[in-house]
Amino acid sequence: MTPRFPSRALALALFALSSASCHKPDAPAASAEAQAPANEVWLTDAQIKEAKIEVTTIDEQEVDDVILTSGRVTFDDMRVAHVFSPVTGRINKVSASLGQRVRKGDPLAVIESPDVGIASSDLSKAQADLVAAEHDYKRVKGLFDSHAASEREVEQAEDAWRKTRAELERARQKANLLKGGAVDMVTQAFTLTSGIEGEVIGRNVNMGMEVQGQYGGGNAVELFTIGELDRVWVVADVYELDMARVRVGSPVAVKSVAYPDRKPFEGKIEWIAGVLDKETRTAKMRCSFDNADRALKPEMFVTVSLQVDQKRVLALPRNALMRLGDVTVVFLETGKAADGRTKFERVPLAVDEGEGGKWIPLSGAGIPKRLAKGVRIVSAGGVLLSTSG
């Protein structure tokens, strides 16, 4: 018998069925890559290498070796003199110019003042009154001894004598005060002199200027500032929280925005106040610095770094902190995804970034419990993570 063959239509149907059974559709994972959750970023090993992402383990570190605070440059109080006029009058001569070096007792300015003449007149009058009162007392005392005067008259004469003697002492003290400068009682000229050796750093006088005396009851103006700038002080605030770790003699470094490329100025803590400011809860601290090049200038604001004792606590590297808008975050390595990519989770936290140096202590209410010892955290290259996801 001749074998029977299927019809042409049946043959085409069998061929189509055979082809379909040999070519199965791809798995869903191959057609669409799995997506990371909103708070995670998944990266391949190549992406991690290209972004130079480094991961470290959270552990205990030596932290808080540096305390940062703000400070202000001031004169060394023992090397500066603020010169005021003790008399009211008019400037008729200026002897010292800005930047000039003067010695103790050198003239700074001459003031024409009626106070000088008044002081001289008061002294002479007090001397004359004392002589007259003494003579009157002796006369009354002689009369009393001769039984020609009463005891009351003697006491009154003695009281008047004592009062004139006290008035003479007052006038003499005032005259001696004016003689602290050079006084010419004839011309009523008072010469303002320097009380220390140093440089004329400030001058607020001009020829013909009227000045108010310190003892005249008005608001006296500082006329000259004499001092040395080769050594200055920096006064800074220490917060109550850090008081136990700040000690006299500890090294200090200050940095000024005026010299961004200059290495910090180095000095030591010389004094710490014994009381706190009730408003700011801070204590004043004074440091001393050599300033031979006059770079640090009085009233300049500086950043003060205090070297203090270290403590060993759980901490993360400062480089691990990332800013996303107003939020500070870190990225944790949490394992592998199904497709082999490494998972990094974004975790927000609140830390005091002013505390510590290289390491930030993990303490306070703003630290998630997940940031524990042994957790793997991104310490470098987190820029790619912060811009992904």
**List of domains in the chain:** 40-64+312-386 (2.40.420.20), 67-78+233-309 (2.40.30.170), 85-113+188-221 (2.40.50.100), 115-182 (1.10.287.470)
Residue 158 token pair: 């003695």
Q: What is the pLDDT of residue 299?
A: 93
Q: What is the pLDDT of residue 317?
A: 84
Cα–Cα distance, 242 to 110 (Å, whole number): 51
3-state secondary structure of 201: strand
Q: What is the pLDDT of residue 3?
A: 40
Cα–Cα distance, 17 to 308 (Å, whole number): 82
The whole-number average pLDDT for the span 270-282 is: 92
Cβ neighbourhood burial of 143 (10 Å; 0-12, 13-18, 19+): middle
Q: What is the pLDDT of residue 17?
A: 35
Point out the least confidently predicted range of 65-69, 172-176, 187-191. Answer: 172-176
The whole-number average pLDDT for the span 80-92 is: 91
Percent pLDDT > 70 in the chain is 84
The whole-number average pLDDT for the span 344-357 is: 75
Helix (H) or strand (E) holding 252: strand 251-255
2 dihedral zone (left: phi>0; alpha: psi -120 to 50; beta): beta
Which residues are CB-contacts of 117 (< 8 A; sequence separation ≥ 6)? 185, 188
For residues 16 and 353, the model is more confident at 353
- Nearest Cα neighbor of 65 from 378, 315, 288 is 315
Q: For residues 306 and 354, is the Cβ–Cβ distance under 8 A?
A: no
- Tell me the average pLDDT of the chain: 81
Q: What is the pLDDT of residue 356?
A: 57
Cα–Cα distance, 284 to 278 (Å, whole number): 12
21-62 pLDDT, tens per residue?
Answer: 444 444 444 434 677 778 888 888 888 888 888 888 888 877
- Nearest Cα neighbor of 120 from 189, 65, 61 is 189
Q: Which residues pair with 254 in a beta bridge?
A: 265, 304
Cα–Cα distance, 385 to 40 (Å, whole number): 9
200-220 pLDDT, tens per residue?
Answer: 999 999 999 999 887 666 688
Point out the least confidently predicted range of 42-56, 134-148, 303-317. Answer: 303-317
The whole-number average pLDDT for the span 358-380 is: 81
- Is the confidence at residue 118, as pLDDT, over 70? yes
- Is the confidence at residue 5, as pLDDT, over 70? no
- Is the confidence at residue 380, as pLDDT, over 80? yes
Considering 228-232, 343-347, 375-379, the range whose residues carry the highest mean pLDDT is 228-232
Q: What is the pLDDT of residue 218?
A: 66
Considering 7-16, 91-100, 375-384, the range whose residues carry the highest mean pLDDT is 91-100
69-82 pLDDT, tens per residue?
Answer: 999 999 998 899 99
Q: What is the pLDDT of residue 291?
A: 93
* Farthest-apart Cα atoms in the chain, separation: 192
For residues 162 and 389, the model is more confident at 162
Percent pLDDT > 90 in the chain is 31
For residues 204 and 314, the model is more confident at 204
Q: What is the pLDDT of residue 114?
A: 82
- Is the confidence at residue 138, as pLDDT, over 50? yes
How many other C-beta atoms lie within 10 A of the C-beta of residue 154? Answer: 17
